Amino acid sequence: MKKLSILTTLFLFVFLFQAELTHAQFDEDLFSFMKEYLSNDEASQVERAKSSIGKAENMNTSIRAEDKKIEKYFKKKKKKKAEKKAVDVKILRIKQALYYDKAYTLIYNVYSEKIAECKFYFDADEAKVYNLIEGASSDVSGAKAKIKIYRKVSPKDLKKKHPYSKLKSDLSSGINSEILAINKLIQAYSIFIDQESKKQMEDEEKRVWNNSVSENSVISFQTYLDEYSNGKYASQARMKINSLQAEEARIAEEELERQRSLAGSIVFEVQIAASRKQLPKGRLAKFYRATNDIKTKHYDNWYKYSVGEFETYEGAKAFIKKIRVRGAFVVAYKNDQKIDIVEAISVN
């Protein structure tokens, strides 16, 4: 995006009519930024303003010539005579200033109306623009007051009541205030233009944040912080990470405690038979001769018969090979309650 030259802006504060009004060197800055945003009608009004500026610039040759004529009188400090001789150049400078005033008033009005149509997404931007507009309005009011003094002044008054040096200073100050006002309007419009990219960036940040919230994990919130360490939701992201990490630590501690509790009371046995009805010892002896060592458990409407008692799954598995009971398999119990064999193995 094109920006106003800082040097140009500073120049506006110090520029005075020491010799002549010469605005051509920075007038382009008043037009170049805005021209791509203007309608045909607005561009036409700006062209009229440029024409008026051209008329003002064309007067510089005559002003230089008149200044040359009266220079000797001011050098000799013949004040009254010098002021009388300066009437013609005073008239020229007033006429030139009025051309500039007409031009800058046109530009100011076009840009003001352009900004009045703008809508802002951000309150802070709107406040900045409001302050710039107020400042521009104040600058223009001050400028008009200074130029008005000379708008209908008579040649007689120019001789006696309006010293040449003050006239130059007043007109210079007035015109430069108008330029400064236009500069402020351009700054205001640039804020409007910039807000679109700001909104896109804000929308993208919100999308990343919403994804983080949806996933709700330490990794997702850290991903947000990696992109927006000072973002709109950064403090919330850090709080979420702290909360999730604390929850993860709590769950891990509970799981560790649960596993410790399980590991201390898990028993592995070898199941050799199961039946809906209780089996007599004679029938059980066909599976395992040492019937006194067979333990009976009843659950899920089944009678389960197992032998052995081992601290490890491996020990129970080895016992199966030793007894050679067809279909025997390892089961796990905790406090006489059957538990999942996979969980028991992992804990054990």
pLDDT for residue 9 is more than 80: no
Cα–Cα distance measured from residue 198 to residue 341, given in angstroms and rounded to the nearest whole number: 59
What is residue 14's predicted lDDT score, i.e. its pLDDT? 37
Residue 7: pLDDT band with limits 50, 70, 90:
very low
Mean pLDDT score, 307-335: 91
Burial group, residue 18, by CB count within 10 angstroms (0-12, 13-18, 19+): exposed
Mean pLDDT score, 234-254: 93
| Residue 301 host element (H or E) | none
The radius of gyration of the chain from alpha carbons, rounded to an integer in Å, stands at 47
Cα–Cα distance measured from residue 332 to residue 345, given in angstroms and rounded to the nearest whole number: 9
Mean pLDDT score, 87-115: 96
pLDDT for residue 107 is more than 60: yes
Which of 72-81, 180-189, 229-238 is predicted least confidently? 72-81
Q: What is the pTM of this model?
A: 0.58
Look at residues 42, 11, 45, 44 and name the one whose alpha carbon lies nearest to residue 25.
11
pLDDT for residue 16 is more than 90: no
Return the top range by mean pLDDT from 132-136, 288-292, 295-299.
Answer: 132-136
Cα–Cα distance measured from residue 4 to residue 32, given in angstroms and rounded to the nearest whole number: 9
Mean pLDDT score, 317-328: 91
Q: How far does the chain reach from its first CA to its final CA, in angstroms?
A: 68
User: Are 100 and 49 spatial neighbours (Cβ–Cβ below 8 Å)?
Assistant: no
Cα–Cα distance measured from residue 159 to residue 157, given in angstroms and rounded to the nearest whole number: 5
What is residue 13's predicted lDDT score, i.e. its pLDDT? 35
What is residue 57's predicted lDDT score, i.e. its pLDDT? 94
pLDDT for residue 263 is more than 70: no
Q: Which residues of 62-99 are buried (b: 16+ CB within 10 A; e: fewer)?
A: ebeebbeebeebbeeeeeeebbebbbbbbebbbebbbb
| Domain boundaries, given as residue ranges, for the chain | 6-205, 261-347
What is residue 88's predicted lDDT score, i.e. its pLDDT? 94
Cα–Cα distance measured from residue 45 to residue 200, given in angstroms and rounded to the nearest whole number: 33
Higher pLDDT, 262 or 35: 35
Q: How far is CA 109 from CA 36, 41, 193, in A?
A: 17, 13, 19
What is residue 8's predicted lDDT score, i.e. its pLDDT? 42
Within the chain, how many helices (H) and strands (E) appear?
14, 5
What is residue 311's predicted lDDT score, i.e. its pLDDT? 86
Q: Which two tokens stand for residue 48?
A: 């009229």
pLDDT digits (tens, 9 = 90+) for 160-216: 899 999 999 999 999 999 999 999 999 999 999 988 888 888 889 999 999 999 999
Torsion, CA 249, CA 251, CA 252, CA 255, rounded to 10? 160
For 144, other C-beta atoms within 10 Å of its C-beta total 15
Cα–Cα distance measured from residue 312 to residue 309, given in angstroms and rounded to the nearest whole number: 9
pLDDT for residue 27 is more than 90: no
pLDDT for residue 10 is more than 60: no
Mean pLDDT score, 296-318: 92
Mean pLDDT score, 122-132: 94
pLDDT for residue 46 is more than 90: yes
CATH of domain 261-347: 3.30.70.1070
Mean pLDDT score, 234-256: 92
Which of 193-202, 219-228, 237-246, 316-325 is predicted least confidently? 193-202
What is residue 261's predicted lDDT score, i.e. its pLDDT? 67
Look at residues 211, 272, 268, 201 and name the one whose alpha carbon lies nearest to residue 240.
211
